[in-house]
């Protein structure tokens, strides 16, 4: 009966050694913690993927220019984890300000009140939060406007050839996805040249986008345009087109008209390769810059005005590519 105790203690030691090793390596990353009185900003994202990486870099760049330090956490799409991490940042790490991409615009409310109670400026970016009165500043895209911008590309193209459109929709639980859908639908409604023949929900899942596009092309072979609500679904759509023998470059009469939103590296590359007709670019750099300057204002004891900013996307299409692409984040990073 001595043995298991021994084994357990050994395991405990081994476990802690492991944690130690893991932490040791990260300590170097997080750098000069507590040295001097540098302003520390807690940044918490809902998840990490291509566009989030760009948003993270934009914040880090602007923060470095302002001489601020950044502590970064990701909530892995778990609203409870996000609320815990923000609590840790505010109460234990005692950060001077927060920049948050909410997993859920409603369920972030408790974190917003916590920050307010502790007088920590709370900046929401990318996804709008419900509790507008209690945040310091918010900068988001304008999903409805982005949907409309995308729609206007279709309307322009429809003037030369009537379009039968397949519309992909993101997750029905995400306000950004709903906004893009609604803006698009509102703008194309009543246009005689545009018919939305099929709406396919993707749940922001590339596999569902691929299968859904394949099935829709099967069901409606006369589809000649597709609205893709995010760049990261573009490879799925193109694979589906290829599998159906419908992938053709711009200029080919068989070409299926494609418009996406985001403006990431892959989207920009597709524009360059003349396989994508238009991309509505999210102003990611603005998010970072304005968030940091709002923090500077708030820490100076002033209110940020305007308190809420919605930035419309930038339409990048084949006609303005040469002049506009320099302003699109995906083209710059690449």
Partner 1 sequence: MSSPESVRREDAAKASPARSAKPVSWLGDPDRRPGWLTDLSMLPALVVVVGVLSVLTDGMLTPSNIVNVGSQSAVVAIAAIGATFVILTGGIDLSTGSVIGASGVSAAWMITSTGSVAAGVAAGLLTGTVIGLVVGTVVAKMPVVPFAVTLAALYVVSGATTLLSHGKTIAPVPAGFIEFSIDGPGGVPYSVWLAVVLYAVAQTFLTRTAWGRRVLHVGANAEVARISGVHVARTKASVYAVAGLFSAIAGIVLTSGLAGAGAGMGGPLLLNIVGAVVLGGTSLFGGRGSLLRTAVGVLFLGFLSNGMSLLGLASFDQQIVTGAVIFIAASADGIGRRLRRGA
Partner 2 sequence: MSSTYQWCARALRRQPLFPVWLVLVLALSGLYDEFGTGANFRNIAIQASPLIIAAVGATFVIMTGGIDLSVGAMLFLAAAIESSRAFVSAPAGVVFAAIAVTGLLMGLVNGVAIALTRVPALIVTLASMQVFRGAGGHITGQQNIDLPAHLRGIGTGSLLGVPAPVLLAAVTTLGGVLVFGRTVFGRYLQAIGSNRAAALNAGLPVRAVTIGAYALAGVLAALASLTQTARLGAVQPSIGDGYELTVITAVVLGGTSLFGGRGSITGTVLGALVLTTAQTGLVFSGASPYVFDIVRGGVLLVAVIAAGIRWRTLAQALRPAAAS
- As measured in angstroms, the least distance from the Cβ of 250 to partner 1 is 36
CA distances from 226 to 168, 187, 216 (A): 8, 15, 11
Residue of 49, 64, 106, 320 interacting with partner 1 (CB under 8 A): 106
- Residue 195 in the binding site for partner 2 (CB under 8 A): no
Write out the binding residues for partner 2, residues 262-281 only, by CB under 8 A.
Answer: 264, 266, 269
Number of residues that bind partner 1 (CB under 8 A): 58
CB 100 within 8 A of CB 137: no
- Residue 83 in the binding site for partner 1 (CB under 8 A): yes
Q: Across the chain, where does the E strand assignment appear?
A: 40-45, 69-74, 97-100, 122-126, 137-141, 163-169, 194-201, 225-228, 257-262, 278-281, 308-311, 314-317
**Residues ≥6 apart with Cβ < 8 Å to 10:** none
Structure tokens at 217: 């092309």
- As measured in angstroms, the least distance from the Cβ of 178 to partner 1 is 9
- Residue 30 in the binding site for partner 2 (CB under 8 A): no
Phi/psi for 174 (5° steps) reads -105, 120
Closer residue to partner 2 in complex, CB, 148/246 = 246
Residue of 205, 296, 309, 311 interacting with partner 2 (CB under 8 A): 205
CA 26 – CA 17 distance, rounded (Å): 14
Structure tokens at 298: 């708030």
- Closest Cα partner for 181 from 160, 162, 165? 165
Closer residue to partner 2 in complex, CB, 173/320 = 173
Closer residue to partner 1 in complex, CB, 22/221 = 22
CA 215 – CA 28 distance, rounded (Å): 50
53 binds, among partner 2, partner 1, none (CB under 5 to 8 A by kind): partner 2
The one segment of 26-34, 85-93, 107-115, 215-223 that binds partner 2 by CB under 8 A: 215-223
Listing from the earlier edge strand, what are the strands of the sheet with 163-169? 194-201, 163-169, 225-228, 257-262, 278-281, 314-317
**Contact positions vs partner 1 (CB under 8 A):** 1, 3-5, 7-16, 18-20, 22-23, 25-27, 29-30, 33-34, 48, 71-74, 76-81, 83-85, 87-88, 91-94, 104-107, 109-110, 113-114, 130, 171-173
**Contact positions vs partner 2 (CB under 8 A):** 47-50, 52-53, 172, 199-201, 203-208, 210-212, 214-216, 218-219, 232, 235-236, 238-239, 242-243, 264, 266, 269
């Amino acid at each position: 009966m001595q043995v298991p105790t021994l084994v357990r203690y050994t395991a405990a030691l081994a476990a802690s050694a492991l944690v130690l090793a893991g932490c040791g390596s990260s300590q170097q990353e997080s750098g000069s913690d507590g040295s001097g009185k540098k302003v520390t900003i807690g940044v918490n994202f809902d998840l990490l993927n291509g566009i989030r990486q760009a948003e993270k870099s934009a914040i880090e760049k602007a923060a470095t220019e302002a001489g601020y330090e950044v502590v970064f956490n990701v909530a892995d799409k778990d609203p409870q984890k996000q609320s815990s991490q923000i609590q840790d940042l505010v109460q234990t790490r005692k950060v001077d300000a927060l920049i948050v991409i909410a997993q859920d615009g409603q369920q972030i409310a408790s974190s917003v009140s916590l920050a307010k109670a502790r007088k920590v400026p709370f900046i929401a970016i990318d996804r709008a939060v419900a509790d507008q009165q209690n945040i310091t500043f918010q900068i988001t895209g304008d999903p409805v406007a982005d949907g409309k911008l995308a729609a206007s590309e279709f309307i322009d193209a429809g003037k030369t050839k009537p379009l039968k459109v397949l519309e992909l929709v993101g997750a029905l639980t995400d306000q950004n996805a709903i906004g893009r859908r609604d803006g698009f639908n509102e703008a194309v409604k009543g246009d005689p040249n545009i018919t939305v023949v099929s709406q396919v929900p993707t749940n922001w899942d590339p596999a569902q986008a691929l299968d859904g596009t394949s099935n829709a092309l099967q069901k409606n072979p006369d589809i000649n345009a597709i609205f893709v609500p995010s760049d990261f679904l573009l490879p799925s759509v193109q694979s589906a087109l290829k599998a159906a023998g419908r992938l053709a470059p711009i200029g080919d009469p068989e070409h299926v008209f494609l418009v996406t939103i985001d403006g990431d590296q892959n989207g920009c590359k597709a524009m360059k390769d003349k396989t994508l007709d238009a991309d509505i670019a999210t102003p990611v750099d603005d998010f970072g810059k304005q968030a940091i300057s709002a923090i500077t204002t708030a820490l100076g004891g002033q209110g940020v005005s305007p308190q809420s900013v919605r930035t419309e996307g930038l339409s990048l299409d084949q006609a303005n590519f040469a002049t506009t692409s320099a302003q699109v984040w995906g083209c710059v990073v690449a």
